[in-house]
Structures are given as C-alpha cells and as structure tokens.
Amino acid sequence: MCVTIIVGNNPTQEVRTMNEKQKKELREWIWAIAISLVVIYILRSFVFSTYVVNGLSMEPNFHDGDRMIVNKLIYHIREPKRGEVVILHANTKSDYVKRVIALPGDTIRVEGDNVYVNGEKIVEPYLEEAVRVAHEAGMPYNRIDQEEITVPDGHVFVMGDNRSHSRDSRSMGPIPISEIVGRSDVVFFPFNSIRIVQHK
C-alpha cells in the first residue's frame, strides 16, 4: 500500500516554489561560470599567458617544445633586469624567447665566450656547464661576437643561451622594451622538466 502525504493545503504552490528555487540555483551557476570566464580572460590577456618554445636558441636551458607560463604584468610594474628570460615579439607572426643581457644605457661587447657589460665581464651561471664542456672539447661555446655598442633608452640587449645558434640582438640590434610580452616564470611541460625559471 502506498501512502501519499501532502504538506500544506496547496500542492501546486509547493511545486511552484521548487521550480523557483531551481531557477535561482541555475541563475547562480550561470553567473558563477560567466564571472569565471571573465576572470580567466583578464588573467590570460593582462596577467599570465602560455608560450611554447620553438627552436634550439635557448638550449641547454630550454628545449624545443617546452611550455612556459609567462608573467605579462611584471614589466608594467618595473623594467626588465639582466639575466631575465623574456618573450618578445619577433615579427607579426611569431615570438622569441631570449635572455636580457644589457639594459638601457649599458655598453656591451661579446668576445667569444666572454660578455662585457659596462667594461666588466659578467658571470653567467646558467651557461657555465655548457661552456666548460665546449672548452674540454677544444671549441669555443660562442662563435658570434659583438662589437661594443651602447643600448639606447627604452631598449634591451638580448641573446639566446645557445650562443652560436641564436638570432638575437647581435643581428637584430637592441629590442624595444615595448616589444617584450612578459617574463618566463615556470616551465610546466614536459612533466619531467617542471620548474621555476631561474633568472640569474
């Protein structure tokens, strides 16, 4: 035997109340999803983005196919610093990943594996092992030199870590800071290479 218990005097009113509650929950879900999409759009447009390394110019520290999280906000707050790995507009179709070597007003020259900024040889710990291996094999690590120049205001001098196989400021000249998309902060793929990017 089935017993139906009706609470209240108006079952139709109870059904109507349930429908209104479901509609309210649906509206709340729609608002939550809409707000989430807006936040994601803002973050991707103005704060963070992703970038896939294309080519060998940043080996041995970054490899073809590496995926990075790029901080797009940082250079709206401050200027780039030496040693930072940046993404910059190469042309209308592609971007480059390079390392900042010299800043506005700096003088820079490159003689083999030695890089001089403002007359002083800089230390590049991110290349020490690669340079050592090349020297043990009887070869220079870098075969593209740069006569001394002064970096103009509003520009930076960038180079790839793979010094002998990189198209950078040695051929393109100093890069306008306005062409920098952001700083590479995290490598998140492949999974065995996940790390926070070291900028010095």
* DSSP string over 105-160: T-EEEEETTEEEETTEEPP-GGGHHHHHHHHHTT--S----EEEEEPPTTEEEEE-
**Are 53 and 96 a contacting pair, CB within 8 Å?**
no
In tens, the pLDDT along 3-38 reads: 444 445 555 555 566 687 777 777 778 787 777 666
For 48, counting Cβ atoms within 10 Å of its Cβ (0-12 exposed, 13-18 middle, 19+ buried), the class is middle
Name the residue among 191, 194, 142, 195 with its Cα closest to residue 170. 142
Cα–Cα dist 126/39, whole Å: 36
Q: Which helix (H) or strand (E) holds 101?
A: strand 95-102
Quote the pTM value: 0.78
The predicted model gives 79-92 an average pLDDT of 90
Which residues participate in catalysis according to the annotation? Answer: 57, 98
Name the residue among 149, 157, 160 with its Cα closest to residue 80. 157
In tens, the pLDDT along 117-172 reads: 999 999 999 999 999 999 999 999 999 999 999 999 999 999 999 999 999 999 99
In the prediction, which pLDDT does 4 show? 46
